[in-house]
Amino acid sequence: MRIHIQNPPPPADGSPDPFIITAAQVEQAAARGGETEAHTLSFGNDAASFAAGIADAEAVVTTPGQILGRFPVAAPRLRMIFCTSAGLDRLLPFDWLPPGVALLNNRGVHSAKVGEYSLMALLMLAARVPAYATQQRAGVWKPFFTPILRGRRLLVVGTGDLGAAGAREARRYGMHVTGVRARPAPHPDFDAILGTDALDAALADTEFLLLACPLTPATRNILDRRRLGLLPAGAGLINVGRGALLDQDALCDLLEAGRLSGAVLDVTVPEPLPPDARLWRTPNLLVTPHVAADNPETYNVDSLDIFFANLRAARAGEAMPNLVDPGRGY
Amino acid sequence: MRIHIQNPPPPADGSPDPFIITAAQVEQAAARGGETEAHTLSFGNDAASFAAGIADAEAVVTTPGQILGRFPVAAPRLRMIFCTSAGLDRLLPFDWLPPGVALLNNRGVHSAKVGEYSLMALLMLAARVPAYATQQRAGVWKPFFTPILRGRRLLVVGTGDLGAAGAREARRYGMHVTGVRARPAPHPDFDAILGTDALDAALADTEFLLLACPLTPATRNILDRRRLGLLPAGAGLINVGRGALLDQDALCDLLEAGRLSGAVLDVTVPEPLPPDARLWRTPNLLVTPHVAADNPETYNVDSLDIFFANLRAARAGEAMPNLVDPGRGY
């Protein structure tokens, strides 16, 4: 098979980028997967090498940023685009996708890391760490004594790999976890699953809210000002999905008013945040720079295992587990 | 039995204090414990009510602060002082303790809460959250991609209830956990146990250091400047024991130099920290105001259960599990 790897360009400052895929990593993944079909690799990290590689590639492994705006392109043999991100919202709508080409995302690669991050953020909100960080800026020592997680309530919007990973960790510590998704169905990692039509009612009973769904036209601003206002006083919020899932200014207003007790955001609008962004200065809010889900030690290894598993499924005539549904956007 | 409860005074601002023990809580604990012996309660929260209560009390339940400097006192019937703290370092040396009076601490009450706190702090250090909080002050978006906890190394100084609770959580996430204690002996919550004489060598191989031992003359400044300097570049430090276990200025120097990657301190010298304390401004350092171990929803309930369990042990002629050894200081 002709496989083209379109990497991001190396960092301008010369620092190593653990997410750049190497030929050795591809060969090792092929060996782990027991690949018997020969493959020919090409690599690129700019427009010229993309054009050269895509010209005869059957499969492309890339990030969304490296193909954004590069279609249509002459790619007569292309059958599959594997993106090493879970969220492909930057590529929406998928009207650029050539007919007959399968688009795959990288769901499944983030579970362990985002599970630990979500648990960390829950523990931080429960213990009021964002408030302590705000007090620290002012040199204020003021304790808040808080209980453990057991018995407390978490609402997770999005029950895919990210949301389920957070739910598992929360239940490990005795929390009661409700998931919200567009098409409700029982899920082993949740105590209850609700449809999006029940979101308003669920918010009023939520102590902790974890946003972990894909960004699509249906979920953009799903936590708008009105819905954020439904959260009870003292609730805490975590976002590991996409910044545009919520109304950031409304969140800042609620935090400044002391209505919400804290927030931990790994994703924001825009990214990176500019130095004068309101989020940096909002009390009881901690920002991490989009690092919640990516383990540099395992990312490429696991991503390539997922890629080859999908290749094998396609070859066997089975459904590819990471196939994106262009209609729903993930 | 004549039991005197010496509570701290109520907060000056009129706010509720969940750690003030009520008569109903004592009666409920006695009922839970199946107490058949009648008891007579008295309560106090100032010098006069202490003197009145201690005059005929057989047991006193109190905080260290409420008896500090109040002995010698006329207490002819006194047999037992139960302190609702784990660390009694403020009362050292115990030369004020009347002969024949048993001093008990509250070890065991903090496990669940301090376990969650220690795990939170480990996850925060592993994910570089203290660095993000520092960057947030400056409006800087700079990611550090970090692996999960699995396989990473934690050194815990102190293998009592606090240290063991942290060790259990760390091992739940696949960390390799070594404990250091004065009298080494195998412990089910640790992969290895070393004596204090092996501390220097262990520090050089430590990614995360958790201080969780009592403060005694033997442990005061146990992490002095020399020992902090033995930690490898990039190590992170957590303190849930007592501030005086380490050289705070040396810690600040190492953080400012970028030698250590971060620190999370729940205990400091002094407490509360004054507004101009260096710790507030040290980069990659987060301070929480001595809240790591105290669950307000369960503290009095669990403390009183421990108190009555010790009473029953004494009545049965058994060793009291919470008896403090005046010689070693905990």
Report domain extents, chain B.
2-109+294-315, 111-287
Q: Do B143 and A277 touch (CB under 8 A)?
A: no
Q: How far apart are CA B202 and CA A100, in angstroms?
A: 59
**Spans of chain B, pLDDT less than 70:** none
Closest of A216, A181, A245 to residue A88, by C-alpha: A216
B154's torsion region: left (phi>0), alpha (psi -120 to 50) or beta?
beta
DSSP A257-299: TTSS-EEEES--SSSSPPTT-HHHH-TTEEE--S-TT--TTTH
CA distance B325 to chain A (A): 30
Position of tokens 């090498």? A49
Q: Do B145 and A286 touch (CB under 8 A)?
A: no
DSSP A35-64: --S--EEEEESSHHHHHHHHTT-SEEEE-H
The dotted CATH code for A111-287 is 3.40.50.720
Q: Which residues of A touch B119 (CB under 8 A)?
A: 119, 123
Assess: ipTM above 0.85. yes
Residue A143 has its nearest CB partner, among B124, B137, B290, at: B290
Q: Best mutation site among B116, B117, B119, B169 for testing chain A: the one with the most A CBs within 10 Å?
A: B116
B158's torsion region: left (phi>0), alpha (psi -120 to 50) or beta?
left
Least CA distance to A113: which residue of chain B? B148
Residue A296 has its nearest CB partner, among B18, B145, B271, at: B145
- The tokens describing A149, both together, are 């997680």
CA distance A258 to chain B (A): 18
Position of tokens 């729903």? A328
Burial class of residue B254 (count of CB atoms within 10 Å of its CB; 0-12, 13-18, 19+): buried
CA distance A133 to chain B (A): 7
Contact A74, A54 (CB under 8 A): yes
Contact B68, B46 (CB under 8 A): no
Q: Which residues of A touch B287 (CB under 8 A)?
A: 132, 136, 141
Contact A182, A327 (CB under 8 A): no
Residue A146: what pLDDT?
Answer: 97
Closest of B246, B234, B164, B244 to residue B199, by C-alpha: B246
Closest of B231, B209, B119, B238 to residue B171, by C-alpha: B119
- The tokens describing B205, both together, are 């191989």
Q: Best mutation site among B15, B141, B295 for testing chain A: the one with the most A CBs within 10 Å?
A: B141
> What torsion do the CA atoms of A165, A166, A169, A171 make, to the nearest 10 degrees?
-110
Least CA distance to A130: which residue of chain B? B133
Q: Which residues of B touch A143 (CB under 8 A)?
A: 289-291
Q: Do A298 and B147 touch (CB under 8 A)?
A: yes
Least CA distance to A122: which residue of chain B? B120
Q: Do B288 and A129 touch (CB under 8 A)?
A: yes
Q: Best mutation site among A110, A118, A135, A136 for testing chain B: the one with the most B CBs within 10 Å?
A: A136
Q: Which residues of B touch A132 (CB under 8 A)?
A: 286-289
Q: Between 3.20.20.140, 3.40.640.10, 3.40.50.10420, 3.40.50.720, what CATH number should domain A2-109+296-315 receive?
A: 3.40.50.720
Q: Do B116 and A271 touch (CB under 8 A)?
A: no
Residue B58: what pLDDT?
Answer: 98
Least CA distance to B276: which residue of chain A? A139
- The tokens describing B175, both together, are 């960390």
Least CA distance to B293: which residue of chain A? A145
Q: Which residues contact A182 (CB under 8 A, 6 or more apart)?
A: A195, A196, A218, A328
Q: Which residues of B touch A147 (CB under 8 A)?
A: 113, 295-298
Q: How far is CA A232 from CA A158, A198, A202, in A?
A: 20, 16, 11
Residue B117: what pLDDT?
Answer: 98
Phi, psi of B239 (to 5 degrees): -125, 115
pTM, whole model, 2 decimals?
0.95
Closest of A159, A114, A82, A107 to residue A267, by C-alpha: A114
Q: How far apart are CA A286 and CA A273, in angstroms?
A: 13
Closest of B184, B128, B181 to residue B155, by C-alpha: B181
Closest of A128, A124, A127, A286 to residue B137, by C-alpha: A286
Residue B145 has its nearest CB partner, among A123, A135, A294, at: A294
Contact B162, B212 (CB under 8 A): yes
Count of C-beta atoms within a 10 Å radius of residue B232 = 12
Q: Do B291 and A144 touch (CB under 8 A)?
A: yes
Q: 3-state SS string over A200-211?
A: HHHHCCCCEEEE
Q: Which residues of A touch B142 (CB under 8 A)?
A: 289
Count of C-beta atoms within a 10 Å radius of residue B94 = 14
Closest of A148, A158, A155, A119 to residue A330, by C-alpha: A158
Q: Do A120 and B124 touch (CB under 8 A)?
A: yes
Q: How far apart are CA B300 and CA B46, in angstroms?
A: 20
Residue B225: what pLDDT?
Answer: 98
**Partners of A264 in the beta sheet?**
A238, A286
Closest of A225, A127, A119 to residue B117, by C-alpha: A127
Q: Which residues of B touch A141 (CB under 8 A)?
A: 271-273, 287, 289
Residue B272 has its nearest CB partner, among A19, A116, A141, at: A141
The dotted CATH code for B2-109+294-315 is 3.40.50.720
Q: Best mutation site among A84, A148, A265, A297 for testing chain B: the one with the most B CBs within 10 Å?
A: A148
Residue B136 has its nearest CB partner, among A132, A146, A286, at: A286
- What is the C-alpha end-to-end distance of chain A, expressed in Å? 26
Do B2-109+294-315 and B111-287 agree at the fold level?
yes
Q: Do A275 and B143 touch (CB under 8 A)?
A: no
What are the mean pLDDT values of chain A's consecutive 10-residue runs (330 residues total)? 97 93 97 94 97 97 96 97 94 95 95 97 98 98 97 98 98 98 96 98 98 97 98 98 98 98 98 98 98 96 97 96 92
